[in-house]
Amino acid sequence: GDSVTQMEGPVTLSEEAFLTINCTYTATGYPSLFWYVQYPGEGLQLLLKATKADDKGSNKGFEATYRKETTSFHLEKGSVQVSDSAVYFCAPSTYGGSQGNLIFGKGTKLSVKP
C-alpha cells in the first residue's frame, strides 16, 4: 500500500543552522506532495506543496523539490530559527480508501536552540 517514510527525530539544531528533513514515499499514480507543520497545542498547518515532478514548493524560507525518480520530497531551510521548533509531517496524496486522501508519516520533531 501507499506509505511515507520520514527521518526519525527528534532533530536538535542551533539557531541559524541548515535543516534537512528527509522524506520518501511509495504511492499509486502521480501524487501531489505536501509538508505540514504542527506547533505545540495546535492543529496542522500546510507549509508547502508540489504537484508535479521537479516542482519546488517554498514558504517561510522552507523549500522542497518533487523528485519523481527517487520518490522523495526532502524539506530544507538554510537558517532555522527558534520559532521553527515544531513537528513536521510529509504527506503524499493518495486515492482515498482506508488511509484517506493524504498519507501521514510519524512526523519529525525539530527543536532549535538559541
Partner 1 sequence: KAGVTQTPRYLIKTRGQQVTLSCSPISGHRSVSWYQQTPGQGLQFLFEYFSETQRNKGNFPGRFSGRQFSNSRSEMNVSTLELGDSALYLCASSLEWGDGYTFGSGTRLTVV
Residues that bind partner 1 (CB under 8 A): 32, 34, 36, 42-46, 49, 51, 89, 91, 93, 96-102, 104-107
Comparing CB distances to partner 1, the nearer of 17 and 59 is 59
What is the smallest separation between the CB atom of 31 and partner 1, expressed in angstroms?
Answer: 8
Cα separation, 60 vs 86, whole angstroms:
14
Shortest Cβ distance from residue 14 to partner 1 (Å)? 26
CB nearer to partner 1: pick between 24 and 93 = 93
CB 65 within 8 A of CB 49: no
Instruction: State which residue, 6 or 24, has the beta carbon closest to partner 1.
Output: 6
Residue type, 63: E
Burial label, 88 (beta-carbon count in 10 A; 0-12, 13-18, 19+): buried
User: What is the C-alpha separation between 112 and 114, in angstroms, rounded?
Assistant: 7
Asked if residues 41 and 51 have their Cβ atoms less than 8 Å apart, the reply is: no
CB-wise, 78 or 97, nearer to partner 1?
Answer: 97
Q: Least distance in Å: CB of 79 to partner 1?
A: 26
